[in-house]
Structure 1
Amino acid sequence: MITLQIENLSKTYDKNTVVTDFSLEVAKGEIVALIGESGSGKSTILKMISGFEKPSAGSIEINNETVCSKQVFVEPENRQVAMVFPDHSLFPHLSAEKNIAFALNKHSRSERKRIVNQMLQLIGLEELRKNKPHQMSSGQLQRIALARSLAFQPKLLLLDEPLSKLDVMLKKRMREEIKQIITQTETTTILVTHDKEDAFVIADRVVVLKDGVTQQMDTPEGIYFKPKNEYVAHFFGRVNTIHAERNGKGYNTPLGCIQAKENGECCRVLIRPENLNIGQQSDDAIPATITKITFYGQQKELQLQLCESQQLITVVIPNYEKVNVGQQLFCKLNTEELTSWAMV
């Protein structure tokens, strides 16, 4: 069953187009992340889905009901859509349980109590039911905000940068908790974020946006291992950009021959650092000199200059390996698990 159907959605402000022909289908219970830089149009799309913004063109259906088209516009309060903001937007004078119960006015008192208890149990904060927002941590506040949004069983949950104001350690824990809570309730969800880890951990599918245009829509694995263009590749991690020339079997590069399906005589090949191995001298290993070392905890990132071509490349190694700037190493492509793609 399709919960959300968006077709050719566009938004223009004073001749400035911020979203262009955006289309998306989201199945019931699926979590889809919209990701991109500031100004990519992701938050504008969220506002159009919720009804806070009117599209310039296109249509939106929620549970097979048209909520927005050229002829129809359903107001936000009638769309059965819930939204969670980065600042929680909880009432400071109300307790946790009363914040959750706020959207349940149409329910009986006993039903409200049952739903609130269910939500507090779901987020693991039953003991904090009487606490007011100022008595809770940022992570607890975010869970209360999520519980309040889920309490009235929305058709669609919209998360607008829900983790952007949390510290690194708390974000890591909250990603997993949010994913678990949404999955348990089988709530169809759209997540807007600029953080690739948020998208990869929480979402089933990821939509990459640039200047209001969809660059790629795929699973997290598909986005990372098979990006469709350079923008997507660079957005989700480091890549080495290497000039390549066609030969009979593929493309010749300073790192050796790479198999590719492109037809041009020259192209650029993009290779993830983890697809390059450092090892002993051999016939297919390329000598290189370390020009820079960056420590990242579990890993070290090495900048190498290939001795013959002077090409600069980046590789990653475990932090326990002892290396020094100026040291010569031998670099080799891991062709068995090569994540590379060529572009003319």
Structure 2
Amino acid sequence: MLQVQEIQCQYQSDIVVDKVSFHVNDGDICSLLGPSGCGKTTILRAIAGFQPLTHGKVILRDHCLSQPGKLVGPEQRNIGMVFQDYALFPHLSVKDNIRFGLRKQNEREQNSAVKRLLELVRLEGIAHRYPHELSGGQQQRVALARALAPSPDLLLLDEPFSNLDTELRKRLSLEVRDILKELRISAILVTHDQQEAFAFSDQIGLLHGGKLQQWDIPFNLYHEPSNRTVADFIGEGCFLPGVIGSEANTVTTEFGTLMGNRAYHWPPGTPVEILLRPDDIVLSDFGGITATVVEKVFSGSATLYTLSLPTGSRVEALLPSHRNYAINETVQINTEADHLIAFSREELLQGSA
């Protein structure tokens, strides 16, 4: 449905988006995820028609919307957009804000559409209120209804939940996802919050330094990071040194020889680092190795422990909070890593150079 083909955007001589490619299928809900300044909002603006390209193409339903020297106007793209600050017209009522994109329809059709959209976003009964009379969550719903009113092919959301408190943000993002799935409207969300991206998206693109590092389903981004940048950004975890074992799917570490779920392409004896997530580390009543608690972060149902191993290496473990260990206390641990991701140390050194 949407094809983004090797797009490049720059401000003056600075390249801020560098040869980024991905596609969005009908009904897919996707996210562009990454730290501030990585280029995700620029990509959204390029898709919307507010940012010209210096290379590549944006194609929607087989129609080229953008390429160097060509820029179809935002109003001609049939793409809806919800901004971070909602951008509601303060002098217009809720009803008139939603009707703004329906000016080509007659009054009866407009009223019918507004009624249907207010029901969809659960705001029946406030059609005559003004934006300043609404809560942040209500304003966000009105902005969504206004963007959905013209039945866009694609909806773009630029950090629309960032001004809301944590609980409302979680609830509203799931409600918006349900609405989009019900209407089968494709969407792209820009966010720096990976938990929000995981809960909201079918596909996620992780950006760093203007480059797309990986475009994948949330499960693969967490368990199958394509490079060290993705592994560092997504979730918690630590890297533990090891060497490739005599079998192609084994890595020898201070936990012993660990068996991966893949054959590694390096020869035996190659120095590597393996990614261990907090849920890969488990308590061991028998055997295992002794680790010392050096940090702990309580989060209610679980506690995230940072543990020092005998060699000085560190790992993280997410344990039920009723197992309360003190700083400097020792525990016996082992690994249960179903997805054993390894990076060669030579590649890591080249990546950091």
Give yes or no for TM over 0.5: yes
Give yes or no for the alignment of 1:341 onto 2:344. Answer: no
* d(CA) in 2 for partners of 1:65, 1:50: 14
Gaps in structure 2 of 5+ consecutive residues: 345-353
Q: Structure 1, residues 84-133: CA drift from partner, whole Å, max 9, x if none?
A: 00111111122211111111111000000010001001001112222211
Amino acid at match of 1:248: S
Equivalent of 2:273, from 268, 278, 282? 268
* Most deviating of 196-205 and 290-299: 290-299
Equivalent residue number for residue 300 of structure 1: 303
Amino acid at match of 1:331: I
Is the contact between residue 159 and residue 189 of structure 1 (CA under 8 Å) also seen in structure 2? Answer: yes
Equivalent residue number for residue 350 of structure 2: none
Equivalent residue number for residue 251 of structure 2: 251
Equivalent residue number for residue 278 of structure 1: 283
* d(CA) in 2 for partners of 1:59, 1:293: 48
Equivalent residue number for residue 321 of structure 1: 323
Q: Structure 1, residues 240-292: CA drift from partner, whole Å, max 9, x if none?
A: 1101112213221112212341415101111101111012132xx11112222
* Most deviating of 243-252 and 52-61: 243-252
Q: Structure 1, residues 15-72: CA drift from partner, whole Å, max 9, x if none?
A: 2111111112111111111111111111111111111111011111112111112353
Amino acid at match of 1:317: L
* d(CA) in 2 for partners of 1:300, 1:253: 25
* d(CA) in 2 for partners of 1:334, 1:123: 44
Equivalent of 1:128, from 126, 129, 132? 126
Q: Structure 1, residues 315-336: CA drift from partner, whole Å, max 9, x if none?
A: 111111132222221111114x
Percent identity of equivalent pairs:
33
Equivalent residue number for residue 347 of structure 2: none
* d(CA) in 2 for partners of 1:223, 1:244: 23
User: Displacement, 1:310?
Assistant: 2.5
User: Displacement, 1:296?
Assistant: 1.5
Equivalent residue number for residue 19 of structure 1: 17
SS in structure 2 opposite 1:25?
A: strand
* Most deviating of 20-29 and 116-125: 20-29
1:129-144 matches, cutoff 5 A: 129-144=127-142
* Most deviating of 214-223 and 87-96: 87-96
Amino acid at match of 1:343: F
Gaps in structure 1 of 5+ consecutive residues: none
1:5-154 matches, cutoff 5 A: 5-70=3-68, 72-154=70-152
* d(CA) in 2 for partners of 1:165, 1:322: 35
Count of equivalent residues: 337
* d(CA) in 2 for partners of 1:318, 1:199: 25
* d(CA) in 2 for partners of 1:6, 1:293: 43
Is the contact between residue 22 and residue 215 of structure 2 (CA under 8 Å) also seen in structure 1? Answer: no
Is the contact between residue 52 and residue 68 of structure 2 (CA under 8 Å) also seen in structure 1? Answer: no
Q: Structure 1, residues 149-188: CA drift from partner, whole Å, max 9, x if none?
A: 0001112111011111111111111111110111111111
SS in structure 1 opposite 2:196?
A: helix
Equivalent of 2:218, from 220, 226, 250? 220
SS in structure 2 opposite 1:21?
A: strand
Amino acid at match of 1:197: Q
Amino acid at match of 2:324: K
Is the contact between residue 33 and residue 205 of structure 1 (CA under 8 Å) also seen in structure 2? Answer: yes
Is the contact between residue 10 and residue 16 of structure 2 (CA under 8 Å) also seen in structure 1? Answer: yes
Amino acid at match of 1:295: F
SS in structure 1 opposite 2:4?
A: strand
SS in structure 2 opposite 1:180?
A: helix
* d(CA) in 1 for partners of 2:154, 2:24: 10
Q: Cα RMSD (Å) of the superposition? A: 1.3
SS in structure 1 opposite 2:70?
A: coil
